[in-house]
Amino acid sequence: MSEIIDILISASFWAAVIRIASPLILATMGELICERAGVLNLGIEGIMVIGAFAGWMAVYQGMPLWGGVAVAMGAGMLFGLLHSTLTVPFGLSQHVVGLGVTLLATSSASFAYRLMLPEVTSPPKIAPFQPLHIPGLSDLPWLGAALSQTALTWAAFAMAGGVAFTLYRTPLGLAVRAVGENPAAVEAQGLSVTGLRMGAVIVGSGLMAVGGAFLTLSAFSSFFFEMVNGRGWICIALVVFGAWRPGKAVLGAILFAAFDALQIRLQQTPLGAALPYQLFLALPFILSILALILMSRRAEVPAALMVPYNKGER
Amino acid sequence: MRLEAIANPSAARRLGLPALAIAATMLVAMLLALIAGANPLAVLGQIAKGALGSKLAILETLNRATPLIFTGLAVAVAFRARLWNIGAEAQLYAGAIIAVVLGTGALGGPLVLPLSALAAMLAGAALLLGPVLLKTRLGVDEVVTTLLLNFIMLLLVGYLLEGPMKDPMGMGWPKSTPLIPEARLPRIVDGLRLHWGFALAIIAAVAVWVIQTRTTLGFEIRAVGQNPEAARFAGMPVNAVLVKTALLSGGLAALAGWSEVAGLKGHLSSDLSPGFGYTGIIVAMLALLHPLGVVVTAIFVAGIFVGSDAMSRAAGVPTYIADMLMATALLCMVLAILLTRVRVVRG
Amino acid sequence: MSKDEGAEVVLRLDRISKSFGALKANDAVSLALRRGEVVALLGENGAGKTTLMNILFGHYMADEGGVEVFGQPLPPGNPRAALAAGVGMVHQHFTLAGNLTVLENIRLGTERLWARRHPDSRGKVERLSRDFGLAVHPDAKVGRLSVGERQRVEILKALYRDARILILDEPTAVLTPQESDALFATLRKATALGLSVIFISHKLHEVMAIADRCIVLRHGRVVGEVDTHATDKGRLAALMVGGELSLPRAEARAPGPVLMQLDGVTTPDRGAVPGLKRLTLALRAGQITGLAGVSGNGQAALAEVIAGLALPSAGTLTVHGAPVTDWSPRAALAKGVGRIPEDRHHQGSIGDFDLTENAVLEAYRSRFSRRGWMNWRAARAFAQEIIASYDVRCPGPETRIRLLSGGNMQKLILGRAMASGPDIILANQPVRGLDVGAIAYVQSQLIAARDRGAAVLLISEDLDEIMGLSDVIHVISQGRLSPGFARGSMSAADLGLWMAGQKFEGADAA
């Protein structure tokens, strides 16, 4: 027990929590935007993979780190365009299209990787984002260490704030919230349901891809095939857990990251050594299922989520 | 733009559009070959040759198709009831685990095979039961829960292979102790490397087809999938139907893993399935969820994978081209199927 | 109430045509609306009224013809252009987002999406509420509002955008007679301020009460245009229907024994929709019991209990003298309850199933299978029997049911419900959305069932239908049930007071 308390009060633990939460926050915000507009985006897992790959590859080819972030975002938006074209104007099954997009994005990344690096056995490293030194803040005891984070982490949190502000404080956000609830209301007020939904999916997919790029550009410094490893699906659970609200979803991501960081550290303890490490690795997935169960009765699902809108359907 | 239903789509539309989807996939294949700096037509030819060019190639394709028929059927059955079982991968491994548990000496004699097949089906069914009950009782989306279970299951397999099931003679390879001979599925014809799992898969497809078209359960499954509200109003026990569907679906997916272990590999390893569970979704969608169609599309998909492996070695185009083609085929096909039923009109 | 013939024409539809597949929904329809006038667009269901207005509002594009607003041609297929030109539409199915507040719904789409500053929307909404008599709280969540309040929000939405032309599609369908009067008062205020109104309806007395002029549509064509002060209901009805077809009226009969009895039946509330409140009701053999009420007052909950979809949380349900405990759709069918659901498309049928499959949905276990194996030959014969005896117009039993018209779909559902000779019949909105011919057919079948000795419960929001068919009428309001009123003992206005819930307070106090 005292081991756990030691872990929980250490600054390095909280630094890890914030680091682990960052990609989750980015991708969860992306998914949240899509779902608020009424589209379930199961492409998230693959879009994170393509984001991780594209960002990393761009930097490896000589682009600056932020250039890599932009390339990742662009790649994600491209797959968002594909997803939304099929699910919004054509109204195809969001389940099937989402899985198809995940498959296509994942295999595209693998294909491109092999094409560009046919011979390598272990992927090359890039110079990733480094923790920002913020005068004053970084010198504080404990807090300075816990907040020793890269610019991309700061950007992730700022972005979550931006999503919340846009959703609740701007006419655009009002329209997005409305289109996920009742697209007919949006159309009757002269706005384009197709435009809003496609826009939401494209922007949301861009954010998911940046979440993936965080893994290669900030967390680790190279690309592995299995590196996203279900994080996308976890983010879908986080959206539900956060009841489709940005603030709660961020809290959920942090809570989740705390468990993840804790399990990594518990593995090092005598207790952890006694248990199979796979059990610890499974914890995030088990937690996600528990979160879904916990929220099942209470969440206010956007009423038109997964309901395609065909203009003038009779 | 707006979609308008077509009352009676013409035969040209119903057949032409899916053909167009296949053609589009071919086009993407050639494009990818070009990007990889290979001759597009040669690449297509090498894929075809790798899949069907020799007796050995054909047998390899059929062997590869066997688990895909099972997972494709599992998905087709579930999707027909609008039960989004994306967890065939986990159910497959559940079946594989049972094949090892019962096939490495726990049981003996001629009954090993049928008993372990039955137990494998039960294990797969049980694995899907949880997500389905969560869906019917609490309204938890089964897509996410079944997906998450895939990851948990793979970790479980990893644990078993390093612990209780570890093959002491494995020389560090994470694989299980091998099955005893009585627990192995024999070959259909002596000397040909094709095991009875393939025949069993075809039998399963026919059985599913009969269930869907001739039985009250099949009628219920289709009704619940098409319109659960009307099914409930008419007196169908919707939740019970979903549970039965799940048991069937999970059982079929488990047979994929069971037959891979008992028929092909003879042991369990963590790379037993290169995503057969996920590929089953493509197989089922390409077959328009028709159980007999699943056999055809499974062989087609298996051919693409086997052919791509061969082509990759020869032409240097990464083998992942097969996964890209499958994803492309899936997306093109669902769009094509939609367009057989609706037309796009202005305003 | 004659208006100045010379007043400015604010809206002109010129030879609008629109087809959906083979169906010609609008055929060269022309119409002119003047400033300050109310024009009624009258026609039975499927006559093309809603299509015409959806073209005007830009939801659809016309195949031919054009729209002019204040002398300017309106670009087709663009709701935004219609809104900007001063056209406001109140749809039959409200277009409101329930998760947003009244003010948010009104503001939606009125500002540039990236706008940083918001105009004083609250002040304007409050002023409009006052001026037009549309009381509703701007910060209330729309999902919690009553139907009448939601309609006020819809009208406010149009007024907030400075609409000069209001289109109301069947606005009274969801209102009590008293609420309708309040709506008419609002419309009179609007026309006095120079707005023009198109009022879509199939209710003659409303058209006579509110409209200056009336344009009658039939099969997508204009078949008449008359000043309301120069005509009467009879002539309008003849124009609308185009023939002598009259709806059946049931004659009174002596009722038999009670076949189904509800005692103190209570069901839980569902959000803003009230459940049943200690409801007591007896359905007698050989009698049509009419249930009147504004939609969303517990009709759905009552129908669910009778259909076997829900058990009361308190109270008892007695069928054929025995209280039921094990209650489900199957149990209801086994006890001889025939059910015609409210929603043909979502509850009554499976669109992509053929007629055979739809015909056996209820009885596939008991009559068309053995040991789990379907007997498709018998099923097909059964479907053919229904098609023949209920005059279902279709190419054959293998036609997918979603290709059928509403009337033919309803006939198949009717045939399915009647096939087992039920002696208790739940008819929930059995003729909504049907054309006159199908209405007459369905209603005559209900009367025939009654005459055979069945107990029929007819649930409808159409007071005329209830009063025309029922031997005894109950009114439901907020989940409470009025006493039964014998045929002819109550006027529509009296029933309206019950529908509005006012009489219940008196009854409760007594």
Q: Which of A259-263, A267-271, C296-300, C398-402 has the lowest mean pLDDT?
A: A267-271
pLDDT band at C510 (very low <50, low <70, confident <90, very high): very low
For residue C83, the distance in angstroms to the closest alpha carbon of chain A comes to 7
Q: What is the pLDDT of residue C236?
A: 79
- Cα–Cα distance, C144 to C151 (Å, whole number): 13
Q: What percent of chain A has pLDDT over 90?
A: 75
What average pLDDT does range A174-183 have in this prediction? 96
Residue corresponding to tokens 């410094």: A221
pLDDT band at C242 (very low <50, low <70, confident <90, very high): low
Q: What is the pLDDT of residue B65?
A: 97
Q: Is C322 helix (H, G, I), strand (E, B) or coil?
A: strand
Residue C320 falls in which region: left (phi positive, over 0), alpha (psi -120 to 50) or beta: left
Instruction: Summarize pLDDT for C133-158 with one digit per residue, the tens.
Output: 898 999 999 988 888 899 999 999 99
The pTM of the full predicted model, rounded to 2 decimals, is 0.91
Strand partners, B237: none
- Nearest 5°: the CA angle A196, A202, A203 is 90
For residue B235, the distance in angstroms to the closest alpha carbon of chain C comes to 5
Angle, helix B196-214 to helix B291-315, in steps of 10 degrees: 140
For residue A309, the distance in angstroms to the closest alpha carbon of chain B comes to 10
| Residue extents of the structural domains in chain C | 9-241, 258-352+408-509
Q: Which of C171, C339, C160, C229 is nearest to C3 (CA)?
A: C229
Chain C residues within 8 A of A178 when measuring between CB atoms: 97, 99-100, 104-105, 108
Q: What is the pLDDT of residue B89?
A: 97
Cross-chain Cβ contact C77/B347 below 8 Å = yes
What average pLDDT does range C401-425 have in this prediction? 92
| Helix (H) or strand (E) segment spanning residue C311 | none
Chain A residues within 8 A of C107 when measuring between CB atoms: 171, 174
Chain A residues within 8 A of B285 when measuring between CB atoms: 96
Q: Is B24 at the interface with chain A, CB within 8 A?
A: no
Q: Which residue has the higher pLDDT, C172 or B114?
A: B114
Identity of the residue in B139, B147, B320 whose CB atom sits nearest the CB atom of A296: B139
Instruction: Summarize pLDDT for B195-210 with one digit per residue, the tens.
Output: 999 999 999 999 999 9
Identity of the residue in C83, C91, C99 whose CB atom sits nearest the CB atom of A190: C83
pLDDT band at A17 (very low <50, low <70, confident <90, very high): very high
- Cα–Cα distance, B176 to B158 (Å, whole number): 10
What average pLDDT does range C4-8 have in this prediction? 71
pLDDT band at C389 (very low <50, low <70, confident <90, very high): very high
Cross-chain Cβ contact C77/B346 below 8 Å = yes
Q: Is A300 at the interface with chain C, CB within 8 A?
A: yes
Kindly tell me if the per-residue pLDDT of C177 is higher than 90: no
Q: Which of B84, B68, B88 is nearest to B286 (CA)?
A: B68
Chain A residues within 8 A of C111 when measuring between CB atoms: 171
Identity of the residue in A90, A95, A103 whose CB atom sits nearest the CB atom of B326: A103
Cross-chain Cβ contact B215/C373 below 8 Å = yes
Are A253 and A238 in contact, with CB atoms under 8 Å apart? yes
Helical H runs in chain A?
A: 2-8, 11-36, 44-60, 65-87, 94-116, 143-146, 151-169, 171-181, 183-188, 193-214, 231-241, 246-268, 270-274, 277-295
Q: Which residue has the higher pLDDT, A175 or A141?
A: A175
- Nearest 5°: the CA angle C418, C424, C427 is 70
Q: What domains can be seen in chain A, in order of their start residue?
A: 2-117+150-295 (1.10.3470)
pLDDT band at A310 (very low <50, low <70, confident <90, very high): confident
Q: What percent of chain C has pLDDT over 70?
A: 95
Q: What is the pLDDT of residue C500?
A: 81
Instruction: Summarize pLDDT for C206-229 with one digit per residue, the tens.
Output: 888 899 999 998 888 998 899 988
Provide the token pair at C15: 């030879």
Q: Which of A289-298, B197-206, C280-289 has the lowest mean pLDDT?
A: A289-298
Residue corresponding to tokens 């297509």: B44
The total of other beta-carbon atoms located within 10 Å of residue A226's CB is 7
What average pLDDT does range C491-497 have in this prediction? 85
Q: Which residue has the higher pLDDT, C115 or B261?
A: B261
Q: Is C112 at the interface with chain A, CB within 8 A?
A: yes
Q: What is the mean pLDDT of chain A?
A: 93
Residue corresponding to tokens 């053999």: C285
| Residue extents of the structural domains in chain B | 70-288
Chain C residues within 8 A of B4 when measuring between CB atoms: 20-21
Cross-chain Cβ contact C109/A191 below 8 Å = yes
Identity of the residue in B217, B227, B346 whose CB atom sits nearest the CB atom of C350: B227
- Cα–Cα distance, B258 to A310 (Å, whole number): 44
Chain C residues within 8 A of B236 when measuring between CB atoms: 361
Q: Is A229 at the interface with chain B, CB within 8 A?
A: yes
Q: What is the pLDDT of residue C359?
A: 97
Q: Is A116 at the interface with chain B, CB within 8 A?
A: no
C134-145 exposure pattern, b = at least 16 Cβ within 10 A, e = fewer = bebebeebbbeb
Q: Which of C157, C155, C212, C150 is nearest to C175 (CA)?
A: C150
Kindly tell me if the per-residue pLDDT of C508 is higher than 60: no
Q: What is the mean pLDDT of chain C?
A: 89
Cross-chain Cβ contact B338/A296 below 8 Å = no
Cross-chain Cβ contact B226/C361 below 8 Å = no
Kindly tell me if the per-residue pLDDT of C449 is higher than 80: yes
Chain B residues within 8 A of A99 when measuring between CB atoms: 86, 278, 281, 330
Chain C residues within 8 A of B222 when measuring between CB atoms: 353
Q: Is C93 at the interface with chain A, CB within 8 A?
A: yes
Q: Which residue has the higher pLDDT, A28 or B189?
A: A28
Which chain A residue shows the shortest CA-CA distance from B162? Answer: A276
Kindly tell me if the per-residue pLDDT of C21 is higher than 80: no
- Which residue type occupies C310? A
Are B120 and B94 in contact, with CB atoms under 8 Å apart? yes
pLDDT band at B347 (very low <50, low <70, confident <90, very high): low
For residue B193, the distance in angstroms to the closest alpha carbon of chain A comes to 30
- Cα–Cα distance, A278 to A284 (Å, whole number): 11
pLDDT band at C1 (very low <50, low <70, confident <90, very high): very low
Q: What percent of chain C has pLDDT over 90?
A: 59
Identity of the residue in B7, B215, B217 whose CB atom sits nearest the CB atom of C403: B7
Of A182, A192, A194, A314, which to mutate for an interface test with C (greatest number of C Cβ within 10 Å)? A182
Cross-chain Cβ contact C108/A191 below 8 Å = yes
Report the length, in residues, of chain B: 347
Cross-chain Cβ contact A184/C54 below 8 Å = no
pLDDT band at C32 (very low <50, low <70, confident <90, very high): very high
Q: Which of residues 163-182 of A touch C (CB under 8 A)?
A: 170-172, 174-175, 177-178, 181-182
Instruction: Summarize pLDDT for C76-110 with one digit per residue, the tens.
Output: 888 889 999 999 999 888 899 999 999 999 999 99
Cross-chain Cβ contact A188/C91 below 8 Å = yes
Chain A residues within 8 A of C83 when measuring between CB atoms: 189-190
Identity of the residue in B36, B281, B328 whose CB atom sits nearest the CB atom of A104: B328
Q: What is the pLDDT of residue B3?
A: 86
What average pLDDT does range C294-300 have in this prediction? 86
DSSP tag of C27: E
Kindly tell me if the per-residue pLDDT of A19 is higher than 90: yes
What average pLDDT does range C156-180 have in this prediction? 88
What average pLDDT does range A255-278 have in this prediction? 88
Which chain B residue shows the shortest CA-CA distance from C334? Answer: B235
Instruction: Summarize pLDDT for B283-311 with one digit per residue, the tens.
Output: 999 999 999 999 999 999 999 999 999 99
Chain A residues within 8 A of B319 when measuring between CB atoms: 114
Tell me whether strands C472-477 and C480-481 are parallel, antiparallel or unpaired.
antiparallel
pLDDT band at C129 (very low <50, low <70, confident <90, very high): very high
Instruction: Summarize pLDDT for A74-102 with one digit per residue, the tens.
Output: 999 999 999 999 999 999 999 999 999 99
Side-chain-side CA neighbours of A295 within 13 Å: the count stands at: 22
Kindly tell me if the per-residue pLDDT of C435 is higher than 80: no
Size of interface B-C (CB pairs under 8 A): 72
Chain B residues within 8 A of C330 when measuring between CB atoms: 235
- Which residue type occupies B69? I
Q: What is the pLDDT of residue C509?
A: 45
Contacts of B51 (CB under 8 A, 6+ apart): B57, B58, B61, B302, B303, B304, B306, B307, B310
Kindly tell me if the per-residue pLDDT of B183 is higher than 60: yes
Q: Which of A213-217, C21-25, C275-279 has the lowest mean pLDDT?
A: C21-25
What average pLDDT does range A165-186 have in this prediction? 95
CATH 3.40.50.300 fits C9-241, yes or no: yes
Q: Which of A220-224, C3-7, C26-30, C489-493 has the lowest mean pLDDT?
A: C3-7
Chain C residues within 8 A of A189 when measuring between CB atoms: 79, 83, 95, 108-110, 157
What average pLDDT does range B145-171 have in this prediction? 91
Identify the architecture of domain C258-352+408-509 in CATH. Answer: 3-Layer(aba) Sandwich (3.40)
Contacts of A56 (CB under 8 A, 6+ apart): A68, A126, A213, A216, A217, A222, A223
Q: What is the pLDDT of residue B168?
A: 81
